[in-house]
Amino acid sequence: MSQSVSNYLKCGYKALSLLNKPCLQLTQLYQIHSHLIVSGSISDPFAAGKLISQLVSFDHTHAYAVFCRLPHKSTYLWNTVLRSFVENKDSNNALSVYKMMMSSGFLPNNYTFSFVFRGCIDIGDVGFGLLCHAQVIKLGWECYDFVQNGLIHFYVSCDLMRCARMLFDVSLNRDVVTWTAVLNGYVKCGDVGSAKKLFDEMPERNAVSWSVMVNGYVKVGCFKEALEIFNEMQRSGVRPNHAGIVGALSACGSLGALDQGKWIHAYVDRSKMELDTVLGTALIDMYAKCGSVEAACRVFEDMPRRDVYAFTSLISGLSNHGDSVMAVELLKRMGDEGIKPNEVTFICILSACARVGLVDEGLRVFESMNDVYGIKPEVEHYGCLVDLLGRAGLLEQAKDVVRDMPMEPDIYVLGALLNACRVHGDADLGNEMVEGLVSRSLDHSGVHVLLSNIYASANQWDRVERVRKGMVEKDVKKVPGCSLIEVDGVVVEFIAGNRYHVLMEDIELLWIQSDIHLKSHSFDSDILLI
């Protein structure tokens, strides 16, 4: 062996040994690559595999270029490249690599399919995923855990729960991750009943599976059940994770369960959980919905970093509780902190302006949406603008807005104008609005009730009677009103017309006493109760 050949080999061995060292930098990997080329060691599948495995962490396109030039490839190398594309969210190229692998005569193994199904999930390619499932069966890999779990996750992500459940039922090695994947699939589809049944059958539950159930109930509006599951999780000794905390706070806000919300906040502080933007926004939303705006403001100021969702949540809370001036000031503060408002932010700001009659400010905000922030107003924003003008008594301007809208007005836009007609007693315009709603088949019970109230305010009782008869003829059902109140940590729901509450007699007695007290001080209690 010549001295030069010996030196090349030594160079190659040294370069290969360097690949085993941790914390290599990209420039060092480029140098090692050069040494492997010079020494000829790059043709060794083991050396090439080590190099590509290191390169994919830094530059997966360069790793792929190295791979393409290799004279000898292996299934391990194909899998390494596949994984790099999937992990770098380049799943289209990942699936292309898989097709090349098959056409080159290399058979995939169980690890290959775990990457392929992840790629199908990322780009939502159901057809190719079904094709790969057929290949799994043909090649005999369907009994392997990696493949089964990958298939179940694929079908769950594509909302094909029947297929996912069939695979789940025949799976022999189901771990908590598999159970939770199917559980999450049911929740995504809104089938909380099936999710709860599966949850009750789980041999092992972790914080993730508990959180899936909490958020599942929140998603379908079963807030009391969400808190019951959250409390049961704590009794079982499982520490709630970030997602579970956020879901429980959302349930507390929707129920007005301030005491439980405060307890969860205290738990967050005791556990030293990071007050990130998601958790901070959930706390702001909870406190605002429960009427504790000062606490919402404190959480907002305590957040180390605030995003558009945190700002929007506090703006909404301030608006709903009458502090519209501060809500508008928060929009200016967003600009100072370099945060761009979104569509929902402007809905909250416009609503805040409408509540206190800030017409000029509201018009300025509406115009700034497109002119300053490049956000095209949608039908919801026009609804807020109509509400702003209507509440201020500017009915003709509000009507002009509806007429000149670039899109078809919906029930919220026309309903806002109809409500303004009720407030300002314009029965003729109100009737015109209702006719427009009827022609669009948008005349739900609330529309008829509003029109009836408009006629009643104008003492047009014959028209009131016609509206009521029309509701009966059309079989329009009025949804009964309901309210929630928290007493000693327990949330109680009241529904209009339902007299079955155990303390109903005491409640009625209290109302009668309040009515007598108000009348004795020359207050018209009927007006106040409205």
240 and 273 Cβ atoms separated by less than 8 Å: no
Closest CA to 260 of 484, 503, 487: 487
385 and 362 Cβ atoms separated by less than 8 Å: yes
CA 100/CA 241 separation, integer angstroms: 42
Closest CA to 479 of 446, 506, 452: 446
3-class secondary-structure state, position 31: helix
In one letter, which amino acid is 454? I
- Please tell me the predicted confidence (pLDDT) of residue 161: 92
Mean pLDDT of each 10-residue bin along the chain, 530 residues long: 44 54 64 69 69 73 78 83 85 90 88 90 91 90 83 90 91 85 91 94 93 95 93 92 95 92 94 92 95 94 94 93 88 90 94 89 92 91 90 85 81 75 63 55 54 61 63 54 59 61 72 77 49
Closest CA to 59 of 92, 29, 38: 29
Q: How far is CA 95 from the centre of its chain?
A: 29
pTM of the entire structure? 0.73
- Please tell me the predicted confidence (pLDDT) of residue 518: 75
| CB neighbours of residue 467 within 10 Å | 22
Residue 76, CB-side half-sphere exposure with 13 Å CA sphere? 10
- Please tell me the predicted confidence (pLDDT) of residue 519: 74
In the DSSP assignment, the letter for residue 22 is: S
